[in-house]
Structure 1
Amino acid sequence: MLTRLLRREAPERCTAISEQAVMALLQRRTVQDVGAMTVFVELLDSTNLEQVDGRVLSILQSHLKSQDVLLRRLAVRSLVMLSGRCQKAATLQGLLPEVMQRLQDSDSEIRMGALTVLGSTLRLADGKTAGPIALQLFKTLLPLFENESSYVRERSILLCRDAMEVAVGTQRRQMRKDVRRSLVPLFFHLHDYDPSVAQASSETLHGAAKFLKRRQLRKLLKTEQPWKIGECLLAEGSSRAEEYLQQSLPYLRSPQQPLREAAVRFIGLAGRQLRDGRQENRQVICDGIGIVKCMINRLRASLSSLSHPSVQYVPITTVEDSYITILQNDD
Structure 2
Amino acid sequence: MRGMWRSSLYHMAQRLVELLSREQPRWEAPAMALLAELLAYPDMNAWDERVVQLAPRYLGSKSSVMRCLVLRALSTLCHKPAMDEMMQILQRRLMELLGDADEEVVVMTLNLLSNILHNCNTRVVNVMARELTWRLPPLFHHDIIHVRLLSLQLFQHTMEALKKEESKLLKAQVHQNLVPLLCLLHEESQEVAEASRVTLLRAATFLKKRRLRQVLEKCKLWAVDECLLSQCSSSRAVQYVQQALWCLYSPQQPVREAAVRFLGIAGQHLRGQEKELQLIHRALQLVTDDVNLSVANLAVQTQLSLRAAEEAASSRPSLRERLCRAWRGWAASWARG
TM-score by length of 2: 0.77
Aligned equivalents of 1:194 and 1:20: distance in 2? 49
Please say if 1:137 is aligned against 2:132: yes
Counterpart among 236, 241, 256 of residue 240 in structure 1: 236
| Counterpart residue identity of residue 223, structure 1 | K
Aligned equivalents of 2:82 and 2:67: distance in 1? 20
Map of 2:17 onto structure 1: 26
Aligned equivalents of 2:76 and 2:94: distance in 1? 14
How far the C-alpha of 1:281 sits from its partner, in A, is: 0.8
How far the C-alpha of 1:208 sits from its partner, in A, is: 0.8
Structure 1 segment 79-228 matched on structure 2, within 5 A = 79-83=74-78, 85=79, 93-94=87-88, 95-167=90-162, 172-228=167-223
* Structure 2 unpaired stretches of 5+: 311-337
Aligned equivalents of 1:175 and 1:215: distance in 2? 19
How far the C-alpha of 1:249 sits from its partner, in A, is: 2.1
Map of 1:76 onto structure 2: 71
Count of aligned positions: 298
| Counterpart residue identity of residue 70, structure 2 | A
| Contact 2:284/2:300, CA 8 A, preserved across alignment | no
Aligned equivalents of 2:44 and 2:255: distance in 1? 46
Aligned equivalents of 1:98 and 1:58: distance in 2? 12
| Counterpart residue identity of residue 130, structure 1 | V
Map of 1:299 onto structure 2: 293
| Counterpart residue identity of residue 30, structure 1 | E
Map of 2:319 onto structure 1: none
Map of 2:307 onto structure 1: 320
Cα RMSD for the two superposed structures: 3.2
| Counterpart residue identity of residue 247, structure 2 | Y
Against the structure 1 CA distance between its residues 24 and 266, is the aligned structure 2 distance closer, same or farther, given a 3 Å change threshold? same
Please say if 1:269 is aligned against 2:269: no
Aligned equivalents of 2:67 and 2:307: distance in 1? 55
How far the C-alpha of 1:132 sits from its partner, in A, is: 1.8
**1:123-168 CA-partner distances (Å, limit 9, x unpaired):** 3222221112111111111111111111111111121111112226
Against the structure 1 CA distance between its residues 313 and 254, is the aligned structure 2 distance closer, same or farther, given a 3 Å change threshold? closer
Against the structure 1 CA distance between its residues 224 and 246, is the aligned structure 2 distance closer, same or farther, given a 3 Å change threshold? same
User: How high is the sequence identity, in percent, across the aligned residues?
Assistant: 32
| Contact 2:116/2:125, CA 8 A, preserved across alignment | no
Look at both structures and tell me which one has the larger radius of gyration over its CA atoms.
Answer: 2
Against the structure 1 CA distance between its residues 193 and 87, is the aligned structure 2 distance closer, same or farther, given a 3 Å change threshold? farther
